[in-house]
Chain A
Amino acid sequence: MTQKKKKTIRMIPQARTPAHEQDPHERARNFLEVNCGYHVEDALLEAERCLLCPEQPCVSGCPVNIAIPDFIQRITEKDYRGAYDVITATNLLPAVCGRVCPQETQCEGVCTVGESLEPVAIGRLERWVGDLAIKEGWSNVPYIEPSGLRVGIVGSGPAGMACAADMAKAGCEVTVFEAFHEAGGVLKYGIPDFRLPNAVVDAEIGKLEQLGIRFECNTLVGRLFSIEQMIEEMGFHAVFIGTGAGYPSFMGIPGESLNGVLSANELLTRCNLMRARDFPDYDTPLQPGRQVAVIGAGNTAMDALRVCLRLGAEQVRCLYRRSRAEAPARAEELHHAEQEGIEFQWLVSPVEILDDGNRNVRAVRCVRMMLGEPDESGRRRPVPEPGSEFEIEADMVVYAIGTNANPIIGQTSKLRLTPRGYIATDDNLATSIPGVFAGGDIVTGAATVIEAMGAGRRAARGMKAFLGLRDTDFVYQERPAGPAATLFGIDRAEHGYARVRLPR
């Protein structure tokens, strides 16, 4: 790599390169992808905007520490395959993460360019590279020396996929168990196609299969066999649990059992995974709402709102008890939802769901809220405004106010849990059973895709230490070869180069 003259903020294209998007009116009625991404010329232009600053705050802002300036530089050098190699050294799913990461609070949020201009569109560049790799059929299948060790992964969502990939690269025979009939977890059942097409998820899963990872669907671990049985009877040397936190919360207000009230999880699973939107070609039903109220303003709420719009609802409202500034959704999703005509009612909280006399929803009675003193999350606590109750007409109410820990693993194993039902782990994500690790939402509570992937990778490091495998994070990274980088032909970055299994 040749070091060019140092770039300054004045030399770079000042405006962020926009991504191609479907027209809001058109897209609000279809399930095609909203953000159509970059063309090559867009990517080249945007890549120019990276200053390649020495501090590289973006790298530490990324939960999996992608070498961001490095891959962007490869794009400017038109070494696209090289850019893909840099990203996949730490992140196996660039096409997914480029689409669903909350970049504004991660890499882009700390970008040096962002101090004076709009930050570099790192997410769009990552996605462009990921999509190109899918189109070109690139994959990085390293030479893997089998270690003879078997690893079982429970849950095929982002945490499980990330852990599976790292363990497969370390030479383990990896099997991923999934309760649904298709692998992918929240990427499949939760995130809708207009944000993350299922074909992209399948392409990324295909790459994991090329690493030798086996996916076993229709397998409910805990009930079909227990975690203890995996270790004691089924011959797994280590197990990772990434079952997520999908146990939806309701508010406990009157009227929640009326027909037309459902969780965002149910709505999204029916629509996305079960393809109820293509009823009757697919058998799963979904009674579409005409006037929909979605409670909550996170990413799941945005997905639910926009799905309802696409299913043909006339009016879709978001009810959130805080203001727009506190809404936890990714900035782009909120913006897209507003563009598509979602009506936002900020500082509003439901107190009762009202009946039409036939056990169907007629309306939601709400109360207006005011923002009081900051609470423990640092956000201002909403307090009800006395005497401000009013009704909003609705025939469908969707709850997107968060989830709790899935109880199945807790019910069926002796794993130590936290008081709230999540799996208790140490810093290396090891659980109370030796050889069993856990990560993602089932440990931390609901979070993002990339945080779950980060947890999966962290657990993989702990697992490798437990199994006595060398840390292969270094081995397959592309680094300049040459006498300085190696000693007797062995990569200097590699500490324990002999494959040693520690006595247990």
Chain B
Amino acid sequence: MANATGGAGYEVVTRQDFSDVTFLLEIRHPLLAKAARPGQFVIVMAHEHGERIPLTIADFDRDKGTITLVIQAVGKTTREMQRDLRAGSRLHGLVGPMGEPSHIGKAKKVLCVGGGLGVAPVYPQARAHKASGAYVIGVLGFRNRDLVFWDDKFRACCDELILCTDDGSVGIKGMVTEGIRQAIARHPDIDECVAIGPPIMMKGCAEATRPHKIRTVVSLNPVMVDGTGMCGGCRVKIGDRVKFACVDGPDFDGHLVDFDDLMFRLQRYRATESEANKRYDENCRMRNPEAAR
């Protein structure tokens, strides 16, 4: 069957490896590049037997007609993608942009916080806030110097950039919450914080900003299948209400999100996931890698 880019599958035009687990894919999809807004995500299906995985859009280039995804190879699917995909490969499925775009343009001074893999999807937000005229402070957290990526891209759109590493090998030693603390101490007039990363990090960010009553937006990425509101797998507790992250989010008020519930729900398929991972370790040639291209 035909698809929105006219051929079978979606072409990977660039691949870049940031570390032994983190890699970037730039994929050609002009319509999607045109429609994408900061905060939105896509669902990717690597091959015909694959699962549908949600990934936040890390960048989009309307002139080139491409979108960029940054992926961490942790599960069977993402490790397989890391092994098989390179420039010229094709993805079986790519659909989006999904979710409500982030609200940009109201805040005057914004803190954009990215931790680990969350560094990539917070980039389009930082860029959009800068373009809307806001003063942007970037806070990026990595484990160590070797894992740092895109600091140059952030420097280009941030008025200030605070790098945080667990071991202090670059920037300040400590987690992003330490960076937030320093930023707030210098700028008491920050009126919005955008935090993207693992749930535990977003929870920490929300707690760091709560005493200062700074509006904090977090981007949630729970388990989902279709991404169109149909399966309800991505339901999250926001205050006393239940929302579907795929259509009602993925951005939510970090001060209202029940992160503990989110973290438990992310474990739903842990047993089958580890089984798949184990099987993948045992037999890396489970399927012909060519099939994925």
Seen from chain A, the residues whose Cβ lies within 8 Å of a Cβ on chain B are 179-183, 189, 214-220, 223-225, 246-248, 250, 252, 256-257, 259, 262-263, 265-266, 269-270, 274-275, 279-287, 359, 399, 406-408, 411
Chain B residue, CB-CB nearest to A246:
B230
Chain A residue, CB-CB nearest to B46:
A283
Among candidates A183, A224, A266, residue contacting B35 with C-beta atoms closer than 8 Å: A224
CB distance from A223 to the nearest CB of B (A): 5
List 20 A-B pairs, Cβ < 8 Å: A180-B226, A215-B1, A218-B95, A223-B35, A247-B232, A248-B231, A256-B242, A262-B232, A270-B231, A274-B52, A282-B50, A282-B51, A283-B51, A283-B77, A287-B271, A359-B264, A399-B232, A406-B229, A407-B229, A408-B229
CB <8 Å contact, A247 and B244: yes
* Pairs of residues from A and B, 7 with the lowest C-beta to C-beta distance, nearest first: A285-B272, A266-B231, A246-B230, A181-B93, A263-B232, A283-B51, A284-B51
In Å, the complex CA distance between A225 and B247 comes to: 16
Apart from the given pairs A181-B92, A285-B272, 15 other A-B contacts in the complex at a CB distance below 8 Å: A216-B2, A219-B4, A220-B227, A257-B237, A257-B242, A263-B232, A265-B230, A266-B232, A269-B226, A270-B231, A274-B51, A285-B269, A286-B269, A359-B264, A407-B229
Does any Cβ of A come within 8 Å of B117's Cβ?
no
Q: Could you say which residues of chain A place their CB within 8 Å of the CB of B96?
A: 220, 223-224
Among candidates B10, B231, B272, residue contacting A263 with C-beta atoms closer than 8 Å: B231
Q: Could you say which residues of chain B place their CB within 8 Å of the CB of A281?
A: 49
In Å, the complex CA distance between A189 and B52 comes to: 14
Does any Cβ of A come within 8 Å of B195's Cβ?
no
CB distance from A14 to the nearest CB of B (A): 46
Q: Could you say which residues of chain B place their CB within 8 Å of the CB of A399?
A: 232
CB <8 Å contact, A406 and B230: yes
Does any Cβ of A come within 8 Å of B31's Cβ?
yes
CB <8 Å contact, B272 and A279: yes
**Count of B interface residues, CB-CB < 8 Å:** 51
CB <8 Å contact, A225 and B31: yes
Interface positions, chain B 3-55, Cβ under 8 Å from A, are 3-4, 10, 31-32, 35, 40, 45, 49-52
In Å, the complex CA distance between A399 and B235 comes to: 13
CB distance from A27 to the nearest CB of B (A): 25
CB distance from A234 to the nearest CB of B (A): 10
In Å, the complex CA distance between A411 and B272 comes to: 35
CB distance from A125 to the nearest CB of B (A): 32
Does any Cβ of A come within 8 Å of B208's Cβ?
no
In Å, the complex CA distance between A262 and B224 comes to: 11
CB <8 Å contact, A218 and B265: no
Q: Could you say which residues of chain A place their CB within 8 Å of the CB of B40?
A: 223
Q: Could you say which residues of chain B place their CB within 8 Å of the CB of A359?
A: 264, 267
Chain A residue, CB-CB nearest to B261:
A257
Interface positions, chain B 213-261, Cβ under 8 Å from A, are 225-233, 235, 237, 242, 244, 247-248, 261
CB <8 Å contact, B242 and A285: no
Does any Cβ of A come within 8 Å of B200's Cβ?
no
CB <8 Å contact, B247 and A274: no
CB <8 Å contact, A270 and B4: no
CB distance from B97 to the nearest CB of A (A): 5
Interface positions, chain B 109-155, Cβ under 8 Å from A, are none
CB <8 Å contact, B31 and A223: no
In Å, the complex CA distance between A182 and B32 comes to: 19
CB <8 Å contact, A406 and B228: yes
Known: A262-B232, A265-B231, A283-B49. A274 touches B225 (CB 8 A): yes
Q: Could you say which residues of chain A place their CB within 8 Å of the CB of B226?
A: 179-180, 189, 269
CB distance from B209 to the nearest CB of A (A): 25
In Å, the complex CA distance between A183 and B229 comes to: 17
CB <8 Å contact, B279 and A284: no
CB distance from B75 to the nearest CB of A (A): 9
Chain A residue, CB-CB nearest to B287:
A281
Residue in B76, B226, B232, B248 whose Cβ sees the most chain A Cβ within 10 Å: B232
Does any Cβ of A come within 8 Å of B273's Cβ?
yes
Chain B residue, CB-CB nearest to A285:
B272
In Å, the complex CA distance between A180 and B248 comes to: 19
Chain A residue, CB-CB nearest to B3:
A218
Q: Could you say which residues of chain A place their CB within 8 Å of the CB of B229?
A: 246-247, 406-408
Q: Could you say which residues of chain B place their CB within 8 Å of the CB of A180?
A: 95, 226
Does any Cβ of A come within 8 Å of B206's Cβ?
no
In Å, the complex CA distance between A359 and B237 comes to: 15
In Å, the complex CA distance between A275 and B225 comes to: 12
In Å, the complex CA distance between A224 and B269 comes to: 30
CB <8 Å contact, A220 and B230: no
Chain B residue, CB-CB nearest to A243:
B228
Does any Cβ of A come within 8 Å of B276's Cβ?
yes
Residue in B4, B93, B230 whose Cβ sees the most chain A Cβ within 10 Å: B230
Known: A216-B2, A257-B261, A284-B51. A265 touches B98 (CB 8 A): no
Known: A281-B49, A285-B273. A269 touches B231 (CB 8 A): yes
CB <8 Å contact, A411 and B237: no
Among candidates A217, A265, A270, residue contacting B232 with C-beta atoms closer than 8 Å: A265
Residue in A189, A285, A406 whose Cβ sees the most chain B Cβ within 10 Å: A285
Known: A225-B31, A283-B76. A219 touches B3 (CB 8 A): yes
Does any Cβ of A come within 8 Å of B94's Cβ?
yes
CB <8 Å contact, A248 and B268: no
CB <8 Å contact, A287 and B94: no
In Å, the complex CA distance between A182 and B52 comes to: 12
Among candidates B95, B271, B279, residue contacting A181 with C-beta atoms closer than 8 Å: B95
Does any Cβ of A come within 8 Å of B160's Cβ?
no
Q: Could you say which residues of chain A place their CB within 8 Å of the CB of B271?
A: 287
Does any Cβ of A come within 8 Å of B84's Cβ?
no
Among candidates B4, B52, B228, B268, residue contacting A259 with C-beta atoms closer than 8 Å: B268
Q: Could you say which residues of chain A place their CB within 8 Å of the CB of B261?
A: 257
In Å, the complex CA distance between A179 and B247 comes to: 13
CB distance from A433 to the nearest CB of B (A): 20
CB distance from B6 to the nearest CB of A (A): 10
CB distance from B4 to the nearest CB of A (A): 5
In Å, the complex CA distance between A406 and B248 comes to: 11
Does any Cβ of A come within 8 Å of B207's Cβ?
no
CB <8 Å contact, A250 and B52: no
CB <8 Å contact, B235 and A257: yes
CB <8 Å contact, A179 and B1: no
CB <8 Å contact, A216 and B95: no
In Å, the complex CA distance between A458 and B97 comes to: 32
Does any Cβ of A come within 8 Å of B166's Cβ?
no
CB <8 Å contact, A262 and B233: yes
Q: Could you say which residues of chain B place their CB within 8 Å of the CB of A280?
A: 275-276, 279
